[in-house]
Amino acid sequence: MSDAAGNAMLRVEDVSAGYDGFQALFGVSLEVNAGESVAVIGPNGAGKTTLLRAISKLIGVTGGDIAMEGRSLKSVPAHEVIGYGIAQVPENRRLFPRLTVAENLKMGGFLPSARARHDERLAYVYSLFPRMKERSGQLAGTLSGGEQQMCAIGRALMSGPKLLLLDEPSAGLAPVVVQSIFEMVKRICAEGYTVLIVEQNIRQVLKVVDRAYLLETGRIKQSGPSAQLLASDEIRKAYLGI
């Protein structure tokens, strides 16, 4: 664990989780400090999405604990997690295709605290993603893949989260768009957001985050500053094809 163990915003301790008798995570521990961008990298099927689902309480944990700003999420139902300041951008974006961009963004700010600041948050999202302002009246289902990802990230930011969870933001996007998605992530981190990102595109994600954890078959195998992991022979051979 890092030196800042006392003030981690998110702390995952010895967490085990899975689905219907299949265990996907085995004693996983990690932490994310305020203002940090952290990636969980690893191959397909390593348990990365399961980890995010456990943090969001979309699945229960069978062991260990998850705490946000020192408060355990153990007995918190999934729909209340956002009230703790955690917003997730799900894999495959999950927009409401028949609602406009503006309506999708509005859905992200449904908490009373966020509703009071709707106009301010919307102006902020439009300043980050001018394309969303241009497309505000367009149905989300008709946007390009990259625009849909912008809309999904914008929707999560509407709640004014303390912690943003990004699940495979580059999945299924054209290589040229992938580059712009990572630029976007970099900008959000530069804005001071605390970000935990799960990503298979290891080379790209390690260029934009501060630290990373390597998850393999449900266990953390390595962790450290991004530059250190990019330089690691093991990771270069296994994942970067070098």
The pLDDT score that the predictor gives to residue 109 is 79
Q: Which of 97, 93, 100, 99 is nearest to 136 (CA)?
A: 100
Q: Which region among 55-64, 90-99, 143-152 has the lowest average model confidence (pLDDT)?
A: 90-99
Task: Give the mean pLDDT of 135-154.
Answer: 94
Show Cβ contacts of residue 192 under 8 Å, excluding neighbours closer than 6 positions: 35
**CA 60 to the chain's CA centroid:** 18
3-state helix, strand, coil in the chain (%, to 5): 40, 30, 30
Q: Residue 26 burial (CB < 10 Å; 0-12/13-18/19+)?
A: middle
The pLDDT score that the predictor gives to residue 190 is 87
pLDDT band for position 6 (50/70/90)? low
pLDDT 10s digits, 170-220: 988 888 888 888 888 888 888 889 999 999 889 889 999 999 999 999 999
Collapsing DSSP to helix, strand or coil, 15 comes out as strand
Q: Which region among 30-39, 106-115, 143-152 has the lowest average model confidence (pLDDT)?
A: 106-115
What whole-number distance in Å separates Cα of residue 15 and Cα of residue 25?
7
Homologous superfamily of 35-46+79-239 in CATH? P-loop containing nucleotide triphosphate hydrolases (3.40.50.300)
Task: Give the mean pLDDT of 212-235.
Answer: 94
* Residue 209 exposure: Cα atoms within 13 Å on the Cβ side: 30
